[in-house]
A and B are shown apart, each in its own frame.
Chain A
Amino acid sequence: MANNDKRIGEALAVAACGLLGAAAPSASRAAEPGSGWDVDTAFLFYGESDGRVKDASVSALAIRDYGDERKLSLDMTLDTLTGASPNGAIASDLPQTFTSPSGRSTYTTPAGEIPLDSSFHDTRVALNASWSQPFARLYSVDAGLGFSSEIDYQHLGLNAGITRDFNQRNTTASFSVAYGFDTVKPVGGVPAPFAAMGDAVGEDDEGNASGQAGSNQDKKVLDVLAGFSQVLGRHSVLRVNYSYSDSSGYLTDPYKVLTVVDPVTGEPVLRTPPPGVEGPGGIYLFEHRPDSRRRQGLYTELRQDFSGNVLQLGYRYSTDDWGIDSHTLEGRLRFPLGESGYLEPHLRYYTQTAASFYRYSLANGAPLPEFASADARLADMDAYTVGVKYGHQTPQGNEWSARLEYYEQTAKAPAETLIGNQPGTVQMPDFSAVILQFSYHFKL
């Protein structure tokens, strides 16, 4: 154009507006498929009350669209865990001493407090890559590969899925399979089932806190998911998923113990370490769980859009052969706030029954059960989450959001697992936690 300083674009927009009226849209959203990456980055902080577990994580998910619905996604997460975690032993009127997982030192829990193992810290790196593309008409297939690594745990996973659209894409059915192969390499070795926590061996000796069943163990997990989603009218979508999960191998938590208690008082049985040796002041046996677990779940979700406000309601039922049945109810309501923001309150309630082998403690002198664990996560448990998320879209089409949530978990030991006077003294490691997340979505 001869004269460069004229703003043709503005003049054209004004002229087109005069021609078409003010109702004309003001922006175009056209793109070449495969132009660039869609990136989601997030920083998450999770902190439990009373100095327990803290987790800080950064993650990035990058999706590249190669056109014709062929997509590559790459996902990376790095997190660091610190803080203390319940070791499974019960609180006592006396201070209690335990040998740390490394077997080289001891830690002491004051009287009346639930014993926490403060050597709990870890760094985890996880990487996932997956590819999806259409397959024949109405089908799409995807496949992925994942890997994660921690000090004491390694995971390798493979997954594949197929999706089919019916009924002019108003109905979608999907089926996917994932297989995980994990290796557990506990600090201090794999304790033998119900081995007693041993004395500390000092810094120079080979760590061996207990009778050992080797230095590492495997775990295999097969997950199958069949899903179905249906568009119901103009403003709602219903989704139903059935999931089946089969875990086998080493499913025990190598750091968790059970307290051996007096069958009459229900108080920990005391023990004195040999002279000059540091060691546990009670009898604590490493837990032992079954080596297989089959879980089935049914999930239904309804999304309803009422003039810009989106309500999402979900219910999940899950049952497994450990005896844990759970119900989850969850709701989110997203409504617009301001020109380009939204607010999304979130409520979630979870309840479960205890695993059949959950024990608050073990009675001294009684025969050992086949399996037992005092992990509160296997007890009767209720949890709820309340939270809110605020998201904002920038004029460039990027989006940032902040999420704040409060979580509270209360567990209950089933009455029949309590021994002697324990019904009057039972104390569960309940806690609350705060979750804070910032995320930013942008295009590259």
Chain B
Amino acid sequence: MGSPCEVLVDASREHTARAVAGAVAACASRVEQKFSRYRDDSIVSRINRAAGTPFEVDAETAKLLDFAEHMWRMSDGLFDISSGVLRRAWRFDGGTRVPTAAEIRELLPLVGWSRIRWQRPLLTLQPGMEIDFGGIGKEYAVDLALAAAARETDDPVLVNFGGDLAATGPQRDGRAWRVGVEGVSGPDIPWTLELAGGALATSGDTHRYVTADGKRRPHILDPRTGEPVRDAPRSITVAAATCTQAGTWCTLAMLQGAEAETFLARDGVRHWIQRD
């Protein structure tokens, strides 16, 4: 997952805790192996290598693609799993290089779900296009891992993959889980939230940005223009029933820039936004 993964079990027996840990670890590594764009043997890498020709996907990948297509349509093209290509122009290494308009223009024809042909089970990308599940993969893994844990025990479980997390319910004594969210003022000053069930996802990694024109620009890119979103919050945390929903809300809200708060408030979504 490229980040620390943990599972907390409020278990009365050690073997329960071990069984849960095993189930969660198995789930995490399966999702990682299958969907990571950093692994050559992942289905995502194979789809991208096959760009230009139809590629037959399995049922699970098909469900993820259905989800992506649905959210792309609902967000008028803001949620787009093909926008990763834009990373070729932008380097999120804390550097200062801003790509030229020409560089971005060159990449834009390779971005956009509308250029992708998705007819279950066949997916056809245009040559040079790429997809990745970076926006929802980790959150999806959290939801699957929690479901796997719940099959092992009735004891309360919290799954946390790099700050995206979900819990089956409150701890056995009825107390909510206390969750630290990394603050903008520094990693040593987390603020805490209480989670008695459901999920939390946070978007806006404070380590990934470029400094351009003396302004830090976070890594959220508008797939329609190729530009980073202006006035995007430093970080957005959303509470939702599932981590997948929470993560999607984060991505969509981040793309609203200055309107992120209004956007989330309008749908009555529980959120915590940090700005500079």
Contact = CB atoms under 8 A, between A and B. Distances in A.
Given A1-B256, A12-B74, A29 B196 contact: yes
Interface stretch (B86-94, B95-103, B241-249): B241-249
Interface of B: 12-13, 63-64, 66-67, 70-71, 74-76, 78, 140, 143-144, 147, 154-155, 170, 172-173, 176, 178-179, 192-200, 239-242, 244-246, 248-249, 252, 256, 263, 266-270, 272
25 contacts: A1-B76, A1-B252, A4-B266, A9-B267, A11-B70, A12-B245, A13-B245, A16-B67, A18-B63, A18-B70, A19-B64, A20-B244, A24-B241, A27-B197, A28-B195, A28-B240, A29-B176, A29-B198, A31-B176, A67-B192, A68-B192, A169-B173, A170-B12, A233-B12, A234-B155
Dominant secondary structure at the B interface: mixed
A20 to B, nearest CB: 5
A33 B193 contact: yes
A33 B70 contact: no
A19 B244 contact: yes
B76 A27 contact: no
A6 interface: yes
Contacts of B74: 6, 8, 11-12, 15
Contact of A16 (B179, B194, B244, B272): B244
A26 B241 contact: yes
Contacts, number: 119
Nearest to A9: B267
Contacts of A16: 67, 241-242, 244-245, 248
A67 B181 CA distance: 14
B59 to A, nearest CB: 11
Nearest to B197: A29
Nearest to B267: A9
A15 B240 contact: no
Given A12-B71, A68-B192, A233-B12, A28 B241 contact: yes
A366 interface: no
A39 interface: no
A396 interface: no
Contacts of B172: 231
Given A12-B248, A19-B67, A25 B267 contact: no
Contacts of B268: 9
Interface string A408-438: 0000000000000000000000000000000
A18 B71 CA distance: 12
Given A9-B269, A13-B241, A27-B241, A18 B66 contact: yes
B159 to A, nearest CB: 13
Nearest to A35: B194
A2 interface: yes
A24 B242 contact: yes
Contacts of A444: none
A32 interface: yes
Given A11-B74, A20-B144, A25-B241, A30 B267 contact: no
